[in-house]
Structure 1
Amino acid sequence: MKNVKALYPHLLVLIGFILVSLIYFYPVLQGNKIFQSDIVQYTGMAKEQNDFRKETGEEPFWTNSAFGGMPTYQLGAKYPNDVIGMLDDALRFLPRPADYLFLYFFGFYVLLMVLKVDPLKAFFGALAFGLSTYLIIILGVGHNAKAHAIAYMPMVVAGVLLVFQRKYIVGGLLTMVAAALEINANHFQMTYYLLLLLAIIAVYYIVIAVKNKEFKDLGKIFGVFAIAGILAIGANATNLMATSEYANHSIRGKSELTFNSDGSKNTENSSMKYEYITEYSYGVSESFNLIAPRLFGGGNGEELDEKSALYEFMLSYGASPMEALQTIQYYGKTYWGEQPIVEAPAYIGAIVFFLAVLALFHDKRKVKYLFLAGAILSLLLSWGKNFDVLTRFFIDFVPLYDKFRAVSSIQVVLELCFPVLAIMGLQSFFTTEKEMQWTSLWKAAATSLGLVVVLFLAKGLFSFSAPVDQQLMQMFSESQDKSFGISFINALKEDRMNFYTSDLMRSGLLMLAVAIVLWLYIQNKLAQTTAVILVGFFMVSDLFMVDKRYVNNNPNQFKSAREVDMPFEATDVDKHILKDTSNYRVYEIQGRLQGRTSYFHKAVGGYSAVRPRRVDQLFEYNVEKNINTLGNSIDFQTLSFTKSNPVLDMLNVKYVIVPTGEGDVPVTNPFANGNSWFVEKVKLVKSADEEIKALDKLDTKREAVIDENFKLAIGLKNLPIKNMDFKKDSTATIQLKSYQPNHLKYISKNSNEGFAVFSENYYKNGWKATIDGKETPIFRTNYVLRGIKVPAGKHTIEFKFEPQVVKTGSTIALISSIGMLLLIGAGVYFERKKKV
């Protein structure tokens, strides 16, 4: 009975988490769904696989609706024996995105319990973590996998700390389950950043153990981590193995080309270009957004109102109130930081910062320095190109670091560490004598408020200018006199300065309010519980109000379920193209890297951070580099091409959506090669460079090109094909008889032996080709396509996608999941036995 009563506070906390999650996203209770831009793109990309799964009950693992064909491993593929996925589904029982918010709270609460924080303080701490502005913003735009992975990070840290504290059974089981859930979230960039924090923790405890000569304990610790890690990885084997297999095929793999699309030499040693990795680098000064949200103007979508200097300027210039408001909301770009796009500042909370500083002065536990070190490393790495030495070191020497872009997102580690420090500070503050409390309090207040004062005085050091200002000046100079543009920008700078000043004052007042509450407690004017509730209320309200500026319940963010589930409406262009019921591809010139086209058609573009590398290069090096030439070959009277384009033809691009001054138009490509064809000549080249260059002028209907190094990729000493001519008469045909994304059937007729090219993307693992049921090798042809030798006569040719990685991974996942269940059962038994 006593044990049951001890659970009551935790039960109340969980109910509180559920209520806060639902209150924040209350439209979900009305049947509405959040409209997330990234998920909209995913919906387009994944439509073919989702439709196939719904119609057949099977998983295709391949889609032809994006990038001309790619595996669905990173598009929400559902794998057999995914027991961890079932557990995750059970934990995410609330409507989305309230489910992820609840997970934020729950995971962080577990960590604070391990750090011996009492339930009330842990409750407010978990809310502060979950309402950290960046964590809310990613829910607003649809970075669900990222949010998912972040939510399980604190639980993994909790398990690791328990193991190092020699609580082998509980810590090992928590580490095992939390790590399995973390990996299952399928955002390896976030998991990688978590590993950097865990490395700091591990080094600290290992050094202490070695100094104390606790080698036996170290052996147990490593053994527990080994078992937990092996089973957590094993339970996710299918996804991990499939992702690893596909990675080198994607833009995350190293390019085989030695030159760039502009002809310059490719000198990059990393998987991705340095500029691409560091495009989103946090500005050094901009980092103070962590304690004052709009220090650098907020986000790109920040809107000014009637109280702004820019609004007053527009009125003085003669604009009506409505014209003034519309102008400033459209052109009043307040963000003046260094990143290309920012939805909102990464604000952790002024009070969270204040309490974290308090922890550094007051809390005696050395573990605080681990979280401080994690926060500092996270901050330094988030600067990216603005801290070039450190960033290049990590790219060049730290394994896998070059696989991830948007380095600013590593601040998620900081956003985990600071709330931990904050609640450690709050917890420890109430456990010491008054004299020490006062000493720590005034030091924390002096440090935090002193920083605010320094930033306030430093206002004159900033120009408040943004890269967008030049574009606005140029635009205004074309339609207004030059003085208008100058005055407009000056008024805009004044608003940016007002944001800077007002938010610094806001943060300072919040810190001061908490300092006063704690001082009143020292003076015995407030009870401890009252003081904690007041501090928690201020802390959470601060974050809540800032978050609501960016993710709120307006109709633009929450829409009906139908609008979210079916986010795209077919345009007249789409309807025209869809009248053609044959099998072909579509290229949308102005939107290749988006998911809308994939929703309606088999597209050569799509929206993915792991798009197929060779297909991407094909457009970058061959098609889009010559986009003006492509446009010049269009007859806008007949809406058709007058000239062949080798790459589009071989990809079976039958329709190109072309932007015009009067909207998009569908242009027919009469030169498209179709689904498959026989060629008369196969050319062997010596490198990927020669292969892609050959496509500029290759007559793809008559000729094919193969890189002779391809033999190494399929484990052959020699290719069973050489430079050779094939006899091809007018009666030779190959026709696609049946289509499924993972199963294609053709009928070929040819009086001679021939070489057939298929307008399907080559992928080494999983695809098997058979001729009359007998397997035949598939050759990577024309840089991205498939080719096979076909004997004379009439034959049935089939391509089936049956990835062995899924079969093997699923078996490992099943065995590992059973092992996990057995260990959990044994762990519960031994823990209960110890208490008897």
Structure 2
Amino acid sequence: MNKKIVSYILPVVLLFITSAIYFAPVFEGKVVQQSDIIHYKGMSKEIVDFKKETGENTFWTSTMFSGMPTYLITTIYKGNLSKKIIDVILKIPRPVSYHLLFLSLFYLMLVLLGVNPWLSLAGALAYGFTSFFFVVFEAGHNSKSLTITYISLLIAGIILAYKNKRLAGALISTLALSWMIAANHLQMTYYAGIMVLIIAIVYFIYAIREKAIIPFLKSSGILAAAAVLAIGMNISTLWPIYEYSKDTIRGKSELTSDLHKKSDGLDRDYILDYSYDVGEALTAFIPRLKGGSMSEPLGEKSQVYDLLAHGQNKQNALRIANNLPLYWGSQPIAGGPFYFGAVLCFLFVFGLFIVQGKDKWWIVATVVVSFALSLGKYFPSLSNLMIDYFPLYNKFRDVKNIIVIQQFAMAFMGALAISKVYKREVSDKIFNKALLYSFAIAGGLALVFAVIPGLAGDFTAASDARLLQAGWPEQLLDALQADRKMVLQKDAFRTFIFVALAAGVLWAFWKKKLKAEYALALWIVLIMADMWPTNKRYLNNDSFVAKRQMNNPYTLSKADEMILQDDALSYRVLNLTVNPFTDASTSYFHKSIGGYHAAKLKRYQELIDFHISPEIQSMSRMLNNGLAPDQVSMLFDSTPALKMLNTKHLIINPNGAPVKDPAPLGNAWFVNNYELVENADAEIDALSEINPADQVVIDQRFEQYVSGKTYQKNGSIELQVSDPNYLKYVFNSNSEQLTIFSEVYYDKGWNAYIDGKEAPYFRVNYVLRAMSVPAGEHIIEFKFEPQSYFLGTKISYASSIVFILLVLAYLGITIKNNGGLLTKPQKHAETTQR
């Protein structure tokens, strides 16, 4: 094999080996125990089981929040044929497959942009071992982890296109963006889009200065076409999600109360809840400046351990010292710091003095913009401006996540700087100045915190008050705060050492006291010595469990077993032993009133806020006061919202019998009376005043379906088939019936049929479906048939075929022009190299 090809492939092999060693337990058949994946198992159980039993995909689940689309849970999107390529790599067990992509695509980007492959290897390790990937993967944010891996390839394509390699750049950008969208974490894709916008603005400014507007416009035009094609390849994903988003908590509410917080997106406080302050941002450089995580292992090196070991069993003292709540920052929850690395941060500062031109300024702009936006509520003027005026910004929460483009830009700057030094493209004067200033800035900052740790704050956390209430004595709390101070000093001094060593290697290489290969080896050693142990605190061998444990994360309780003995075809369960609205365990076994999802239907969330939550509180009070057997009917009848949702079983003790509604309304029923109301406010208010067994509330926009009609209850309706995406009822009555279904209304996919012919249905009681069914014997069917998915799939297939044809055409032209796929080396270039 050609030596040059080997020199490019061998670093990728080394990247794979590095990742495989770090995540070695996966090759023993183990998997990471991820909290969000445990929730996912609960969310997706019905969907997965249905696929196994029928071979069909369902786009609706009935087990969460009384029913919702599956688009953001687990939907198999078809049409994007480019995914076939990435699916081959993803057959490698996670997280090795994800991490290998994270490493290798950054490596590929650098190689495509002309960086030496071995320097690209070092750059890939520096970027690939930033702790963001490890912390979010450990939490179970798999789609987030996968999406950010494609940023490198996207930026490579864009830069190539702007450097007049338009066709290659556009095709690479199309591929990267199509994979990114397919990974289905739109927030991370959106943040990548912000960086692309910054690149375009900087390149445009330079195009004006260099009088190169036409080439800029050509490159921008072909990149715009590439984006359209990538979107087209994923229309089957994007269209249903876009359609659904309007009806979720990210859409605009029809309610007019609490106007100052209402928008067509998430509530402002919810968006900005997870915001960085300046201290949190500095954890990119000093990992435990704010303590690290909610559970840090210090062992016998802890002052808490010393205090407890003198007063109680050393084993118990060690257990506590290995799970210390050291985190004292501003985040509600912290699984670990987003540490970029001392070496990476130093090289970024060094690059500010070494790298020049347009690439320097888009990198600087990206770092500044992403840092400012990550501050969220601590920079309200900017955050409010973005929420109010920047398209789609109000659809996403946890704004600190925008640091993904900050860490990328900083890693890219460091790689460019090292490449320039390696090629000796700067003068001795510039190098010496850059090295001195960067060491003074980075090393000096670390040293200041090592010597004066109090600059970071007072080491107290909001959780300290809860520890006192839990019985922690003041003396133990003082020891905990001393440990927080200790880890800050330790990490700050550690950062200083790594900065000093990295600067020393640079100096030695520049002064020709160290050969290039030795300098490169030392840089890699420094990077891994810095990042490996830090990441191992948050994702290590103890994070892995047997695969069977993750495949069956929930245990059937006695209450669950008793409920499952109910032979009724469909009913709902309310679990009062957990928070019903942050719980996926109930959905694993039953059709739940609650669930766990960040994009539930807005109307259902409003029903929770206005009725279900108050009813649960009322129900809990009655249960706490003791409930006689003859009062059970009163318990359910006093909660009309839960009643109309066919809540048949309450779990009040997992080890005891559930409370069962003796007279549930069932899956469908008839009512005599209806009340027309003028808007959503009136509709949701009226629910507390009706008996759902006899009366419904209808928004006046649906008046046409009941206008002039009177109803008298008689006859029957029975549910015969209850699949996630298909419901079948047998109806029999000698008069027209206003029929209510205890199913969530969603008209962007659910179609109703009477005796095989499509029939209209409408919304009642704020969230339910209803039909006016004519007299006689009928078969009523509801089928979930989202045209956005089926038509979108056809568009995706067509776009994928166009992309494949373009790639083949490009390869054909390249082979014809170069006499092969690889460009032939020029003779004069070979002479120069000699």
> Normalization by structure 2: what TM-score?
0.94
Determine if the alignment matches structure 1 residue 460 to structure 2 residue 448: no
Match of 1:742 among 725, 739, 742: 725
Matched AA of 1:600 = F
Residue 829 of structure 2 corresponds to which residue in structure 1?
none
Residue 177 of structure 1 corresponds to which residue in structure 2?
175
Q: Secondary structure at the match of 1:705?
A: strand
**Using the alignment, how far apart are the partners of 1:818 and 1:364 within structure 2?**
41
Contact 2:421 2:510 in 1 (8 A): no
Judged with a 3 Å threshold, the aligned counterparts in structure 2 of structure 1 residues 353 and 722 are, in CA distance, closer, same or farther, namely same
RMSD: 1.9
Contact 1:744 1:800 in 2 (8 A): yes
Residue 129 of structure 1 corresponds to which residue in structure 2?
127
**Using the alignment, how far apart are the partners of 2:386 and 2:229 within structure 1?**
29
Q: Which consecutive residues of structure 2, in runs of 5 or more, have no partner in the other structure? A: 820-834
Matched AA of 1:524 = K
Q: Which consecutive residues of structure 1, in runs of 5 or more, have no partner in the other structure? A: 477-483, 712-717
Determine if the alignment matches structure 1 residue 562 to structure 2 residue 548: yes
Determine if the alignment matches structure 1 residue 657 to structure 2 residue 651: yes
Match of 1:233 among 231, 236, 246: 231
Q: Secondary structure at the match of 2:442?
A: helix
Residue 480 of structure 1 corresponds to which residue in structure 2?
none
Q: Describe the superposition over 1:406-428 as per-residue Cα deviations: whole angstroms up to 9, x where unpaired.
A: 01111111121111111112111
Match of 2:707 among 722, 731, 740: 722
Match of 2:588 among 564, 589, 599: 599
Judged with a 3 Å threshold, the aligned counterparts in structure 2 of structure 1 residues 821 and 103 are, in CA distance, closer, same or farther, namely same
Q: Secondary structure at the match of 1:796?
A: strand
Residue 146 of structure 2 corresponds to which residue in structure 1?
148
Residue 538 of structure 1 corresponds to which residue in structure 2?
526
Deviates more, 1:733-742 or 1:339-348: 733-742
Q: Describe the superposition over 1:604-652 as per-residue Cα deviations: whole angstroms up to 9, x where unpaired.
A: 2222111122112212221213433112344556594532111111111
Q: How does 1:169-318 map to 2 (within 5 A)?
A: 169-259=167-257, 267-316=261-310, 318=311
Deviation, structure 1 residue 458: 4.3
Q: Describe the superposition over 1:561-589 as per-residue Cα deviations: whole angstroms up to 9, x where unpaired.
A: 21122221211111111111211011223
Judged with a 3 Å threshold, the aligned counterparts in structure 2 of structure 1 residues 517 and 226 are, in CA distance, closer, same or farther, namely closer
Contact 1:520 1:526 in 2 (8 A): yes
Contact 2:633 2:661 in 1 (8 A): yes
Q: How does 1:409-488 map to 2 (within 5 A)?
A: 409-432=401-424, 433-461=427-455, 462-476=457-471, 485-488=473-476
Deviation, structure 1 residue 671: 4.1
Deviates more, 1:671-680 or 1:812-821: 671-680
Deviates more, 1:625-634 or 1:33-42: 625-634
Deviates more, 1:762-771 or 1:519-528: 519-528
Match of 2:760 among 777, 782, 788: 777
Deviation, structure 1 residue 266: 5.2
Contact 1:363 1:429 in 2 (8 A): no
Q: Describe the superposition over 1:244-286 as per-residue Cα deviations: whole angstroms up to 9, x where unpaired.
A: 01001111112221225xxxx5543351111111111112222
Judged with a 3 Å threshold, the aligned counterparts in structure 2 of structure 1 residues 27 and 637 are, in CA distance, closer, same or farther, namely farther
**Using the alignment, how far apart are the partners of 1:376 and 1:547 within structure 2?**
26
Residue 803 of structure 1 corresponds to which residue in structure 2?
786
Deviation, structure 1 residue 469: 1.1
Residue 772 of structure 2 corresponds to which residue in structure 1?
789
Q: Secondary structure at the match of 2:705?
A: coil
**Using the alignment, how far apart are the partners of 2:297 and 2:517 within structure 1?**
39
Q: Secondary structure at the match of 1:787?
A: strand
Contact 1:235 1:812 in 2 (8 A): yes
Residue 560 of structure 2 corresponds to which residue in structure 1?
574
Match of 2:100 among 99, 102, 112: 102
Residue 343 of structure 2 corresponds to which residue in structure 1?
351
Q: Describe the superposition over 1:725-778 as per-residue Cα deviations: whole angstroms up to 9, x where unpaired.
A: 41113xx21100112111111011112111101011111111111111221111
**Using the alignment, how far apart are the partners of 1:663 and 1:287 within structure 2?**
46
Match of 2:85 among 84, 87, 93: 87
Contact 1:257 1:266 in 2 (8 A): no
Deviates more, 1:692-701 or 1:755-764: 692-701
Residue 494 of structure 1 corresponds to which residue in structure 2?
482
Judged with a 3 Å threshold, the aligned counterparts in structure 2 of structure 1 residues 671 and 388 are, in CA distance, closer, same or farther, namely farther
Judged with a 3 Å threshold, the aligned counterparts in structure 2 of structure 1 residues 323 and 216 are, in CA distance, closer, same or farther, namely closer
Match of 1:624 among 594, 606, 613: 613
**Using the alignment, how far apart are the partners of 2:15 and 2:510 within structure 1?**
30
Matched AA of 1:22 = A
Contact 1:586 1:655 in 2 (8 A): yes
Q: Secondary structure at the match of 2:275?
A: coil
Percent identity for Structure 1 against Structure 2:
36
Contact 1:649 1:700 in 2 (8 A): yes
Residue 165 of structure 1 corresponds to which residue in structure 2?
163
Determine if the alignment matches structure 1 residue 120 to structure 2 residue 118: yes
**Using the alignment, how far apart are the partners of 1:354 and 1:410 within structure 2?**
21
Judged with a 3 Å threshold, the aligned counterparts in structure 2 of structure 1 residues 807 and 270 are, in CA distance, closer, same or farther, namely closer
Contact 1:270 1:395 in 2 (8 A): no
**Using the alignment, how far apart are the partners of 2:708 and 2:112 within structure 1?**
67
How many positions carry a matched residue from both structures? Answer: 808
Contact 1:283 1:339 in 2 (8 A): no
Q: How does 1:29-108 map to 2 (within 5 A)?
A: 29-108=27-106
Judged with a 3 Å threshold, the aligned counterparts in structure 2 of structure 1 residues 641 and 102 are, in CA distance, closer, same or farther, namely farther
Residue 678 of structure 2 corresponds to which residue in structure 1?
686
Matched AA of 1:87 = I
Matched AA of 1:722 = S
Matched AA of 1:358 = F
Contact 1:31 1:561 in 2 (8 A): yes
Residue 572 of structure 2 corresponds to which residue in structure 1?
585
Contact 2:261 2:268 in 1 (8 A): no
> Normalization by structure 1: what TM-score?
0.94
Deviation, structure 1 residue 81: 2.7
Deviates more, 1:267-276 or 1:507-516: 267-276
Deviation, structure 1 residue 241: 0.3
**Using the alignment, how far apart are the partners of 2:320 and 2:208 within structure 1?**
65
Deviation, structure 1 residue 664: 6.8
Q: Secondary structure at the match of 2:753?
A: strand
Matched AA of 1:565 = N
Deviation, structure 1 residue 59: 1.0
Matched AA of 2:314 = P
Deviation, structure 1 residue 442: 1.7
**Using the alignment, how far apart are the partners of 1:826 and 1:335 within structure 2?**
55
Matched AA of 2:443 = L
Residue 714 of structure 1 corresponds to which residue in structure 2?
none
Residue 673 of structure 1 corresponds to which residue in structure 2?
665
Residue 320 of structure 1 corresponds to which residue in structure 2?
313
Q: Secondary structure at the match of 1:496?
A: helix
Matched AA of 1:545 = P
Matched AA of 1:585 = R
**Using the alignment, how far apart are the partners of 1:779 and 1:453 within structure 2?**
67
**Using the alignment, how far apart are the partners of 2:627 and 2:508 within structure 1?**
78
Determine if the alignment matches structure 1 residue 511 to structure 2 residue 496: no
Deviates more, 1:439-448 or 1:427-436: 427-436
Judged with a 3 Å threshold, the aligned counterparts in structure 2 of structure 1 residues 355 and 266 are, in CA distance, closer, same or farther, namely closer
Contact 2:198 2:365 in 1 (8 A): yes
**Using the alignment, how far apart are the partners of 2:241 and 2:129 within structure 1?**
31
Q: Secondary structure at the match of 2:740?
A: strand
Residue 553 of structure 1 corresponds to which residue in structure 2?
541
Contact 1:138 1:147 in 2 (8 A): yes
**Using the alignment, how far apart are the partners of 1:193 and 1:723 within structure 2?**
53
Contact 1:124 1:540 in 2 (8 A): no
Residue 18 of structure 1 corresponds to which residue in structure 2?
16
Deviates more, 1:450-459 or 1:166-175: 450-459
Deviation, structure 1 residue 186: 0.7
Q: Describe the superposition over 1:628-681 as per-residue Cα deviations: whole angstroms up to 9, x where unpaired.
A: 31123445565945321111111111112225xx96762222343110000111
